[in-house]
């Protein structure tokens, strides 16, 4: 369809001011936080479910693809319009529709920043648990699409454990409700299917979330190590002891350097690794639990364990952790985040081999990750403008994922597959597995309207 005609039709649905199609806009909606680029045919900013439904009906009738998008913080290219079409930017649908404290539920539109909801809940002493590092800008619709994780997901589970239902626009524009406010719903768990489907099955226009009272007490500790292996062994030992802290994050020397140059978070520059361990829950017994953890740290040669004394100190430590990805851009201009998961017991060994891969390609690698989940985030440092280096980065990234898969882990912890890791899907799934997923895609979106060219590798799509 001619772009002019498309823009005109869409303007009829959402108003002229909410359709963007200039050269500049097409460039600006062609990226996210990954290394991939695409180019949409136009961008639409819907204001209601009804508008979304009309847009989808129009797109389907005209064979146009649709990619839904929030803040574009995606790390695996999930929001890249690889085959043109319409990008739906949800910045206008950003309201909190309901906060139901008695029933511990919140209902929101998809374009709201995760942290904006959290700030509103804080007034009631409540919290929405998932905390992706990008929460201050990531949208809940994006979290839904990616099944986002975050440090506190060790104890509380990832996004899917906190989404109870949604209003979803299907490929033909029909609007359905999945799940609901109750804990368990009869019929198929379509909410479970849709969360983490990366916008390939449907578009959520309303989300029902589980919210919880804020824990009574929080204790944040920084365990400082002279060796990465000792830090890794501590992680396994804590979990093996039956303790599930709220967070168990590891940050290595190179990342510490970058973070400390960026903000003074309080990570010691001469440490090989630090663990950011947070406990939350009832006040009673917390001291004892903290002491048990410190004892495990000591047994594993910890140099020192510091406890955050004030809320400000705690906030500063977390600011350092959340900004770690961005901060490494102080060392080299760009970073490529790998997102692999391994069984916790294999962490020390896999880490060593990750560093070997870096050395082999001549690439510096910084590590900051959800150690408690065994979810690695090696950050490969490079300069995107150097094509040879960029090529090596992709090769090294793929090797790291192979390493994780071979160690009994998998190729994504929380960042999704997107355009980035489609071929790596074959590291963990065989063609029957992929074919089963393809059937789900076909059932939801037989005409490939939504987010084409993502998640499932091409060769098996046609199988």
Q: Which of 9, 11, 25, 355 binds another protein (CB under 8 A)?
A: 25
Question: Segment contacting another protein (CB under 8 A): 215-223, 326-334, 396-404, 451-459?
Answer: 326-334
Alpha helices (H) along 216-346: 228-240, 253-262, 286-299, 311-322, 324-327
Give me the least distance between CB of 340 and another protein, in Å please. 20
Give me the least distance between CB of 222 and another protein, in Å please. 19
How far is 51 from 14, CA to CA, in rounded Å?
Answer: 7
- Kindly state whether residue 382 participates in binding another protein, applying the rule CB under 8 A: no
- Kindly state whether residue 232 participates in binding another protein, applying the rule CB under 8 A: no
Smaller CB distance to another protein: residue 73 or 460? 73
**Residue 84 · residue 65 · CB < 8 Å:** yes
Rounded (10°) angle between helices 286-299 and 228-240: 140
Smaller CB distance to another protein: residue 410 or 419? 419
**Closest of 123, 121, 125, 124 to residue 135, by C-alpha:** 121
**Closest of 393, 423, 389 to residue 405, by C-alpha:** 423
**Residue 101 · residue 123 · CB < 8 Å:** no
How far is 256 from 372, CA to CA, in rounded Å?
Answer: 19
Question: Segment contacting another protein (CB under 8 A): 15-23, 99-107, 229-237, 347-355?
Answer: 15-23
CB crowding 288-301: b at 16 or more within 10 Å, else e: eebeebbebbeebe
Q: Which of 1, 263, 395, 443 binds another protein (CB under 8 A)?
A: 263
Kindly compute the dihedral angle of the four CA atoms of residues 291, 295, 301, 305, in this order, to the nearest 10 degrees: 0
- Kindly state whether residue 276 participates in binding another protein, applying the rule CB under 8 A: no
- Kindly state whether residue 205 participates in binding another protein, applying the rule CB under 8 A: no
How far is 76 from 79, CA to CA, in rounded Å?
Answer: 8
H helix or E strand, kind and range, residue 347: helix 347-361
Give me the least distance between CB of 262 and another protein, in Å please. 5
Give me the least distance between CB of 32 and another protein, in Å please. 7
- Kindly state whether residue 92 participates in binding another protein, applying the rule CB under 8 A: yes
Residue 415 gets which letter from DSSP?
S
Smaller CB distance to another protein: residue 20 or 347? 20
Token pair of 53 as six digits: 């439904």
- Kindly state whether residue 262 participates in binding another protein, applying the rule CB under 8 A: yes
**Residue 140 · residue 91 · CB < 8 Å:** no
DSSP-based three-state secondary structure for 213 = strand
Token pair of 293 as six digits: 């953890």
Residue 334: partners with Cβ closer than 8 Å, 6 or more residues away: 35, 381, 382, 383, 384
Alpha helices (H) along 127-262: 140-146, 153-156, 190-194, 228-240, 253-262
- Kindly state whether residue 372 participates in binding another protein, applying the rule CB under 8 A: no
Q: Which of 11, 96, 115, 290 binds another protein (CB under 8 A)?
A: 115
- Kindly state whether residue 367 participates in binding another protein, applying the rule CB under 8 A: no
Q: Which of 193, 254, 286, 329 binds another protein (CB under 8 A)?
A: 329
Question: Segment contacting another protein (CB under 8 A): 89-97, 276-284, 295-303, 359-367?
Answer: 89-97
Question: Segment contacting another protein (CB under 8 A): 69-77, 213-221, 350-358, 363-371?
Answer: 69-77
**Residue 138 · residue 70 · CB < 8 Å:** yes
- Kindly state whether residue 27 participates in binding another protein, applying the rule CB under 8 A: yes
- Kindly state whether residue 391 participates in binding another protein, applying the rule CB under 8 A: no
Smaller CB distance to another protein: residue 94 or 147? 94
Give me the least distance between CB of 323 and another protein, in Å please. 4
Paired strand residues for 176: 168
Smaller CB distance to another protein: residue 202 or 320? 320
- Kindly state whether residue 20 participates in binding another protein, applying the rule CB under 8 A: yes
Residue 450 gets which letter from DSSP?
B
Q: Which of 10, 33, 154, 158 binds another protein (CB under 8 A)?
A: 33
Compose the 120-159 pattern: x for residues touching another protein by CB under 8 A, - for all others. --------------x-xx----------------------
Give me the least distance between CB of 260 and another protein, in Å please. 11
How far is 427 from 79, CA to CA, in rounded Å?
Answer: 23
**Residues binding another protein: number (CB under 8 A):** 41
Question: Segment contacting another protein (CB under 8 A): 194-202, 205-213, 255-263, 401-409?
Answer: 255-263
Output phi, psi for 277, to 5 deg. Answer: -110, 125
- Kindly state whether residue 301 participates in binding another protein, applying the rule CB under 8 A: no
Q: Which of 23, 102, 270, 284 binds another protein (CB under 8 A)?
A: 23
What does the binding site for another protein look like in residue numbers (CB under 8 A)?
20, 22-25, 27-29, 31-33, 43, 45, 71-73, 89, 91-92, 94, 113, 115, 134, 136-137, 259, 262-263, 323-327, 329-330, 333-335, 383-385
């Amino acid at each position: 369809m001619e772009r002019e005609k498309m823009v005109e039709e869409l303007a009829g649905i959402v108003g002229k001011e909410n359709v963007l199609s200039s050269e500049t806009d097409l460039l600006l909606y062609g990226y996210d936080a990954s290394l991939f680029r695409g180019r949409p045919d136009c961008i639409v900013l819907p204001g209601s479910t009804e508008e979304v439904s009309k847009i989808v009906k129009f797109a389907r009738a005209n064979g146009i693809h649709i990619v839904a998008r929030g803040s574009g913080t995606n790390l695996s290219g999930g929001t890249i319009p690889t085959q043109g079409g319409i990008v739906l930017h949800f910045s206008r649908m950003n309201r909190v529709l309901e906060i139901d404290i008695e029933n511990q539920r919140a209902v929101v539109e998809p374009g709201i920043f995760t942290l904006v909801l959290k700030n509103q809940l804080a007034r009631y002493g409540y919290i929405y648990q998932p905390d992706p590092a990008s929460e201050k800008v990531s949208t809940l619709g994006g979290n839904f699409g990616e099944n986002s994780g975050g440090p506190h997901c060790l104890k509380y589970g990832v996004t899917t454990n906190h989404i109870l239902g949604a209003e979803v626009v299907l490929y033909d524009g029909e609007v359905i409700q999945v799940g609901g406010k109750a804990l368990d719903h009869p019929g198929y768990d379509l909410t479970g299917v849709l969360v983490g489907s990366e916008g390939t099955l449907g578009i959520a226009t309303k989300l029902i979330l589980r919210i919880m009272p804020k824990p009574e007490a929080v204790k944040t500790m920084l365990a400082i190590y002279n060796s990465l292996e000792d830090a890794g062994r501590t992680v396994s030992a804590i979990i093996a002891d039956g303790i599930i802290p709220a967070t168990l994050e590891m940050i290595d020397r190179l990342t510490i350097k970058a973070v400390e140059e960026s903000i003074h978070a309080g990570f010691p520059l001469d440490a090989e690794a630090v663990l950011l361990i947070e406990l939350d829950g009832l006040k009673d017994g917390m001291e004892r639990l903290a002491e048990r953890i410190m004892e495990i740290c000591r047994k594993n040669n910890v140099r020192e364990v510091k406890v955050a004394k004030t809320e400000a100190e705690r906030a500063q430590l977390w600011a350092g952790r959340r900004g770690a990805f961005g901060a490494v851009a102080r060392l080299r201009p760009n970073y490529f985040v790998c997102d692999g998961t391994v069984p916790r017991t294999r962490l020390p060994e896999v880490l060593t081999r990750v560093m070997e891969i870096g050395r082999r390609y001549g690439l510096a690698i910084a590590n900051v990750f959800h150690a408690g989940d065994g979810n690695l985030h090696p950050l490969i440092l490079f300069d995107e403008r150097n094509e040879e280096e960029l090529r090596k980065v992709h090769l090294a990234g793929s090797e790291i994922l192979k390493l994780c898969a071979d160690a009994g882990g998998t190729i994504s912890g929380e960042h999704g597959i997107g355009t980035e890791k489609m071929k790596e899907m074959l590291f963990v799934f065989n063609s029957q597995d992929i074919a089963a997923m393809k059937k789900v895609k076909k059932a939801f979106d037989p005409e490939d309207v939504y987010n084409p060219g993502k998640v499932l590798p091409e060769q098996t799509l046609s199988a």
